[in-house]
Amino acid sequence: MDNRLPHEKGFHVSWDQLHRDARALAWRLQGQGPDEGQWRAVVAITRGGMAPAMIVARELDIRTVDTISVKSYNHQTQSAPRIIKSPDPQVIGDGTGILVVDDLVDTGRTLEVVRGHMPKAQIATVYAKPQGRPQVDTFITEVSQDTWIFFPWDMALQYVKPYRGSD
């Protein structure tokens, strides 16, 4: 399966904005864990989930952080997702007490695979699109389905021509 997704709009996220939004996610998640409000571990979905997972783990004082790697996109082209690296099964079990963090949910296919792997985990993303919302338990900001989110690690500062030029 290979399909190119139609994206009319761009939503450009700076490091500062990502930091604020990931902190807001941590704030919302505070006290929601099963064991006296605390999770046993954070699992970041690589690669995009790593920066938000670090910020959430820092804010919620969770020291055990593992990763799951699900590959499905090559730039904006999506194919069937597959797990290419699993977290330590002794840490995650069936997902009870585990907080999974990703940068965004779009179609929800990545999270579907992750849920299959740890059905009892709580799943949180910073950003969400409508199609993927049913797959995520907690998120901060929703953008429309036809928006492509650009993260700071995919961008660079560059010169922009003024609206009114002298040439």
Ligand X SMILES: O=P(O)(O)OC[C@H]1O[C@H](OP(=O)(O)OP(=O)(O)O)[C@H](O)[C@@H]1O
Ligand Y SMILES: Nc1nc2[nH]cnc2c(=O)[nH]1
Catalytic residue among 21, 103, 154, 167: 103
Nearer to ligand X, 74 or 166 (CB): 74
Size of site (CB under 6 A) for ligand Y: 6
Q: Which residue, judged by CB position, is nearest to ligand X in the bound state?
A: 48
108 is in an annotated binding site: yes
Q: Is 142 exposed, middle or buried (0-12, 13-18, 19+ CB in 10 A)?
A: middle
Amino acid type, 133: R
**CA nearest to 51, candidates 67, 33, 71:** 67
Q: Do β-strands 65-74 and 41-46 pair in parallel, antiparallel, or remain unpaired?
A: parallel
Instruction: Using the CB atoms, write b or e for 24-59: b if 16+ within 10 Å.
Output: ebbeebeeebeeeeebbbbbbbbebbbbbbebbbeb
121-150 residues near ligand Y, rule: CB under 6 A:
148-149
Nearer to ligand X, 95 or 132 (CB): 132
Expressed in angstroms, the distance from the first to the final Cα of the chain is 48
Dihedral of alpha carbons 144, 148, 18, 26, sign: positive
Active site residue 154: no
15 is in an annotated binding site: no
State in angstroms the smallest separation of the CB of 88 from Mg ion.
20
Nearer to ligand Y, 110 or 122 (CB): 110
Active site residue 106: yes
- Asked if 39 interacts with ligand Y (CB under 6 A), we say no
Active site residue 103: yes
- Asked if 114 interacts with ligand Y (CB under 6 A), we say no
106 is in an annotated binding site: yes
Which residues are designated catalytic?
102-103, 106
Tell me the binding residues: 47-48, 102-110, 148-149
Tell me the binding residues for guanine: 106, 149
Give me the residues that bind ligand Y (CB under 6 A), please: 73, 104, 106, 148-149, 151
